[in-house]
Structure formats: structure tokens, C-alpha cells
Amino acid sequence: MNQIKEILNKYPKEEEYLIEILLEFQASKKNHYISSEDVSVISKYLNIPESQVCSVISFYTMLSMSPKGKYVIQVCHDVPCFVNSANNIYDKLVEELGVEDGETTEDKLFTLEITECLGRCNESPVMRVNDKVFVNLTPAKVEKIINDLRGENK
């Protein structure tokens, strides 16, 4: 609760800071989502209806109201990555994780998502794990990244 207040107090009580607040809220949580309690706290702080907060969350793909894994893996699938075998990267992730686009592994460690262009087309194919971007991927590199992350959480 203190952490929540700390975040809110950084922002003026103005509606235009809603997206900034939501992004910071979400980043502070290990499951990368905004709970309905959070929505209620934010709406009270900014003095706007909860429905307005929810409509913003549902519009932006980076914001979520359902919990995700500790690591959110986003694979780019747009043309520059697609023509550089992004399919193989996605297939490898499906094989490694046993989940598909939009799903979270049972151990709540990984969420797999297909995402829009990450603006790293000069190093395609690419994927993002939380804030970190991995470039020039091969299926072997993907396997190593996943194993390393699993190792850190043993």
C-alpha cells in the first residue's frame, strides 16, 4: 500500500497522468498487471470513474488487468522479422515453454506473446523479455535464454 501511495504522490491529480501512473503501477508488480483494487485506488486519486481507468487499460496492449508470468516474452512477428525466420523463434518458444500466444506457463514463470514491431529490424529476428530486447535470434539462442532464466529461478 505504501508503495502505491509513493507512486501516486509523484503525479499531479490530473487525468492526463493516467497512462503514466498505470505504467508505473504495472512495472512495480511482479505479475505485470493492474488489479481491480489498483483501479479503484487510481480512480479515487484522479477523481475519475473506474470505467475510464478500465477503458484506458483495455485500449493499450502494454497494460493488462490479468496477471502474467514473471517473464513476459514478446516475439516480434511483423514483416522484417517474419522474413528473417521469426516463425522458427516462436515455434521454438512454444516447444520450450509448452504454451502459445497469450498463455502463461503453469509455474507462472513465463507468458508468451506475439507483439508488434519492436523497432529493432536491423537485428531481426528479435524478442523482448520484460524490458530487455534480445536480437539476432536463433532457436539455439532462444533455448539458452530460457534455460538461463529457469536457472535463475531454481
Partner 1 sequence: MIEMKVISKRFGKVDPLSIDSYIKHDGYKGLEKAISNHPSHIIDEVEKSKIRGRGGAGFPTYIKVRALSKEAGKKYIVCNADEGEPGNFKDRMIMENDPHSVIEGMIIMAYATGAEQGYIYIRGEYQIAMNIMKETIKQAKDKGFLGKNIFNKGFNFEIEIRSGAGSYVCGEEFSLIESIEGKPGRSRTKPPFPTEKGIHNLPTLINNVETFANFPYIITIGGDKFAQIGTNSSTGTKLISLSGNVKKKGLYEVPFGTSIRDVIFKLGKGVKDDRKIKMVQLGGASGPIIPEYMLDMSIDFDRFENFDSKTGTGAIIVIDDRFDIFDILLTNMKFFVHQSCGKCAPCREGHIQIVNLLNKFINHRATEKDLMSLENLANVIQQTSLCGLGQTSMTSIISSLRYFRDDYFAKVRY
Helices vs. strands in the chain: H and E counts, helices first: 7, 4
* Residue 117 within binding range of partner 1, rule CB under 8 A: yes
Specify which residues 75 forms β-bridges with: 114, 127
* Residue 91 within binding range of partner 1, rule CB under 8 A: no
* Residue 20 within binding range of partner 1, rule CB under 8 A: yes
Cβ closest to partner 1, residue 81 vs residue 93: 81
- The separation between CA 4 and the C-alpha centre of its own chain, rounded to angstroms, equals 20
97: number of CA atoms within 13 Å, CB side?
30
Cβ closest to partner 1, residue 27 vs residue 98: 27
Report in angstroms the alpha-carbon separations of 25 from 20, 40, 110, 116, 132.
9, 13, 20, 23, 19
- Which SS3 state, helix, strand or coil, does residue 32 take? coil
* Residue 143 within binding range of partner 1, rule CB under 8 A: no
Strand ranges, E, within 9-98: 71-76
Cβ closest to partner 1, residue 84 vs residue 104: 84
Name which position in 66, 83, 107, 144 contacts partner 1 (CB under 8 A): 83
d(CA 96, CA 118): 22
* Residue 84 within binding range of partner 1, rule CB under 8 A: yes
Name which position in 8, 18, 97, 145 contacts partner 1 (CB under 8 A): 18
Q: How far is the CB of 74 from partner 1 (least distance, A)?
A: 9
* Residue 121 within binding range of partner 1, rule CB under 8 A: yes
Give the footprint of partner 1 on this chain (CB under 8 A): 14-20, 22-23, 55-56, 59-63, 77-80, 82-84, 116-124, 128, 131
